[in-house]
Amino acid sequence: MSESAKKRRITDKKIFRLIKLQIVLLLILVAGITYYYASGYAGEVSALKAEAIDIVKHSSVDTFRQIETSEVYDSNGQTISVLKGEKDVYYITYEHIPTYVCEALISIEDKKFYKHNGVDYKAIARAVFAMMKDGEVTQGGSTITQQLARTIFLSNEKTWQRKVEEIYIASELEKKYSKEQIIEFYLNNVYFANGYYGIQAAAKGYFSKDVTELSLSQICYLIAIPNSPTYYDPVINPNNTLKRRDLILSAMYKDGVIDEKTYNRAKNEEMVLQRPDSVKNNYVETYAYYCATKALMEVDGFEFKNEFQSKEAKEAYERAYEEAYNNWNQSLFTSGYRIYTSIDLNKQNELQTAIDTNLEEFTDVNEEGIFALQGAGVCIDNSTGMTVAIVGGRSQDVSGYTLNRAFQSFRQPGSSIKPLIVYTPALEMGYTPDDMVLDEKFEGGPENAGGKYAGEITLREAVAYSKNTVAWQLYDQVTPEKGIGYLNTLGFSHIEKDDYGMAACLGGLTVGVSPLEMAKGYATIFNDGYMRDPGCILKITDAAGNIIYEANQEEVQVYQENAARTMTDMLQSVIAVGTAKDIDLGDMPCAGKTGTTNSNRDGWFVGYTQYYTTSVWVGYDLPKQVPGLTGSSYPAAIWQEYMLDIHEGLLPAEFLRPVEYIGTEEQQEEPVLEEEENPEDQQVEGEFDQENPEEENTDTVTYQLVTQTFDGTEIPPGAIPDNATDIQITTTTEGQ
């Protein structure tokens, strides 16, 4: 066969294969079209298109100014806050929007904005291809017009129907409104975090300026936020916001919008927030918004997690969480919700006062004018398991941001972690308060505060005087895997791989814990080992009163009942004779634990009565030594002052005893355990605990069982109705 014949034959084969491929593709197309119509998709898409046309047809310029105001109430029906985007107040027309604002937005979000008709099909195709390749959504394909359509007219539901309707609405918007109007609508409706809707509201809220007064760098800083209002929140995550600002500036430079000199000057400009005084110290509001957002996510079917099989799984979850959180958080300011909370503003004010007065001698401030030494506290109602007060810092009248340290900051817990991961688990293993343990220095172990050791002591004494050597030995038996497992079950959010080591038993955690998490942990011990969600949302309704969400406390068992009750009994010794001696509540039985980290950088006190559980943290935002700070100093003083206030007028109520009482019926006199007043740092790496036990004490603990009857019916201690007229109280003393 000649060479030309071979080439012709090869060419014929290629043509034949191409024809076969075209036939196959045609058959697939025909099959797809057939399925499209036969399955009813055609009718559904046609209906979505008709609905989109109708939506846009009945829209007007006023549509993009409207907003429904949401309201938040405390447990007594008192208004906590009104959530509104204030579009009417801060709406700014296109001619008053600085050119740089529009150019920055287009450079980073939609480079073809002036070329497409509302939809960039190539961008959508790239996003679909990336999703098929990566197995998840890794890049967006939405234009500015599509984002506007989604923000104004659609829900947060992630379905193909919503995406199709979004595309049709965007196309119709482009037919009815000019490009200038669309960008005006977008910039006045997009969410900038912290309740700010629109570029003007954001300018006022973050820089106390009109948008026309902003520098290029400040403009790009604000434009960075809407992409992910939580991740780029300049209050909580300023470094993330700064990085995206630089990305926007780089995009503008590459697009030829700004020259190199302008780019460098803007990139080097320091970002300093100047927020109005009215937004400071809104600790109740920030926590209520957080809880309400999570409640709406729950209603929508979002599954919350805190344990992951791999780093990739964790990252995927965090992306999904962030997107869902952003969407539902935005709805708080536009959907007209009525949000009913468990917060008691009277108790909130009392906790704030206790923190402020006990730390008033510390007057140093940081660069933003915020008090350098801070405190935070959380109070949970033990009858419901819900939060009634949450304070995230000291109050002051200066401009600056509000960080709610009560649930947004994580610090080393020191010895306050021991009941959660060492002692209650040890009790489950069969230990009793009267078991003898050895307090001595051993190779590879930690030192006690002051370097003193008591030899053989009871487990109760080890808890009361916060003996590090004993906690270490017990934790070795419990094992770090099991100990940290309790924190995972409790829902502690920042447990890292490196936390599965011995250091954790003394509070040596990679990231740490929040006051909210610690209150939740101790409330679980009080509640016979059953965990409840310490949120604050009782109910959410729409403006018409229809219930959207209603709290339903589901209890999860973390500890065995007997172990939990015995732990409570032992924690009473901490206050009676141990590291928190004299931090009592008079006749009101109470239990608690101190915590102090290396170099006195963090101080904790977490404790409870039958009525309330309260946790308190004191320290610097950037950890450093605080002279005189221990768990038994400022934190315990704050706890005591606050708890005395909120228990005023309540009847003393004893804790429930173990089903089978563990320990002696009569608590014995504690031995003399001398410690230095200012202990040295521990000998093991990490933020460990160092306590200051008292010198000597011969006090005893009294156990009382109180039975109350009203109209012949037995009722819990302290639960006497306000209208009671015939009350019988029988008191039995069980130990003196």
Q: Which of 263-267, 296-300, 673-677, 687-691 has the lowest mean pLDDT?
A: 673-677
The predicted structure's pLDDT at residue 68: 72
Q: Which of 354-368, 656-670, 683-697 has the highest mean pLDDT?
A: 354-368
> Is the pLDDT assigned to residue 12 strictly greater than 90?
no
The predicted structure's pLDDT at residue 28: 66
> Is the pLDDT assigned to residue 75 strictly greater than 80?
yes
> Is the pLDDT assigned to residue 686 strictly greater than 70?
no
The predicted structure's pLDDT at residue 7: 64
Short-list 524, 686, 536, 691, CA closest to 615: 524
Short-list 340, 503, 334, CA closest to 418: 503
Burial of 17 (0-12, 13-18, 19+ CB in 10 A): exposed
The predicted structure's pLDDT at residue 714: 43
Q: Which of 154-158, 296-300, 379-383 has the lowest mean pLDDT?
A: 154-158
Specify the fold of 350-701: Beta-lactamase (3.40.710)
> Is the pLDDT assigned to residue 137 strictly greater than 90?
no
Residue-wise pLDDT for 145-178, tens only, equals 999 998 888 866 667 677 888 899 999 999 999 9
136 assigned to active site: no
Using pLDDT thresholds of 50, 70 and 90, give the confidence band for residue 284.
very high
Q: Whole-angstrom Cα distance, residue 337 to residue 402?
A: 24
> Is the pLDDT assigned to residue 29 strictly greater than 70?
no
> Is the pLDDT assigned to residue 130 strictly greater than 90?
no
Kindly name the residue from 109, 184, 675, 694 that is annotated as catalytic: 109
Q: Judge contact between 689 and 507, C-beta under 8 A.
A: yes
> Is the pLDDT assigned to residue 519 strictly greater than 90?
yes
Q: Which of 226-230, 414-418, 615-619, 648-652 has the lowest mean pLDDT?
A: 226-230
75 assigned to active site: no
> Is the pLDDT assigned to residue 682 strictly greater than 50?
no
Buried b (16+ CB within 10 A) or exposed e, 94-107: beebbebbbbbbbb
> Is the pLDDT assigned to residue 665 strictly greater than 60?
no
pLDDT above 70 as % of the chain: 79
Q: Which of 121-130, 277-286, 617-626 has the lowest mean pLDDT?
A: 121-130
> Is the pLDDT assigned to residue 415 strictly greater than 60?
yes
β-pairing verdict for 70-73 and 338-341: parallel
Q: How many residues does the chain have?
A: 736
Hey, do 84-275 and 350-701 end up sharing a CATH topology, with the first three levels equal? no
C-alpha dihedral (354, 359, 360, 361), degrees to nearest 10 = 150
Domain ranges, ordered by start, for the chain: 3-39, 84-275, 350-701, 702-736
Burial of 461 (0-12, 13-18, 19+ CB in 10 A): buried
To the nearest whole number, what is the mean pLDDT of the chain?
A: 84
Q: Whole-angstrom Cα distance, residue 522 to residue 515?
A: 11
The predicted structure's pLDDT at residue 88: 52
Residue-wise pLDDT for 323-343, tens only, equals 899 889 888 887 889 999 999
**Would you tell me the crossing angle of helices 3-38 and 41-57 to the nearest 10 degrees?**
70
The predicted structure's pLDDT at residue 138: 37
Residue 120 vs residue 456, higher pLDDT = 456
The predicted structure's pLDDT at residue 378: 98
The predicted structure's pLDDT at residue 318: 92
Residue-wise pLDDT for 198-216, tens only, equals 999 899 989 999 999 999 9
What's the rounded mean pLDDT across residues 645-659? Answer: 95
- Measure the N-to-C terminal CA separation of the chain; round to a whole number of Å: 115
Q: Which of 19-28, 185-194, 441-450 has the lowest mean pLDDT?
A: 19-28
The predicted structure's pLDDT at residue 632: 96
Q: Which of 159-173, 396-410, 487-501, 662-676 has the lowest mean pLDDT?
A: 662-676
> Is the pLDDT assigned to residue 38 strictly greater than 60?
no
One-letter amino acid identity for 450?
G
> Is the pLDDT assigned to residue 400 strictly greater than 80?
no
List, as one string, the DSSP characters of 222-253.
Answer: HHTSTT-TTTT-TTT-HHHHHHHHHHHHHHHH
> Is the pLDDT assigned to residue 1 strictly greater than 90?
no
The predicted structure's pLDDT at residue 396: 82
> Is the pLDDT assigned to residue 672 strictly greater than 50?
no
pLDDT above 90 as % of the chain: 62
Kindly name the residue from 415, 416, 573, 615 that is annotated as catalytic: 415
Using pLDDT thresholds of 50, 70 and 90, give the confidence band for residue 713.
very low
Specify the fold of 84-275: Penicillin binding protein transpeptidase fold (1.10.3810)
The predicted structure's pLDDT at residue 30: 60
Q: Edge-to-edge strands of the sheet including 386-391?
A: 386-391, 373-381, 612-620, 602-608, 591-596
> Is the pLDDT assigned to residue 695 strictly greater than 60?
no
Number of H helices, E strands in the chain: 24, 17
Q: Judge contact between 591 and 574, C-beta under 8 A.
A: yes
Q: Whole-angstrom Cα distance, residue 376 to residue 393?
A: 5
Q: Whole-angstrom Cα distance, residue 654 to residue 233?
A: 46
Query: What backbone phi and psi angles, to 5 degrees, belong to 448?
Result: -80, 160
> Is the pLDDT assigned to residue 2 strictly greater than 80?
no
What's the rounded mean pLDDT across residues 671-691? Answer: 41
The predicted structure's pLDDT at residue 344: 97
> Is the pLDDT assigned to residue 126 strictly greater than 50?
yes
Q: Which of 41-50, 121-130, 590-599 has the lowest mean pLDDT?
A: 121-130
> Is the pLDDT assigned to residue 227 strictly greater than 60?
yes
Question: CA distances (Å), 10 to each of 16, 17, 225, 268, 365, in order?
Answer: 10, 11, 58, 63, 82
> Is the pLDDT assigned to residue 719 strictly greater than 60?
no
What's the rounded mean pLDDT across residues 562-586? Answer: 96
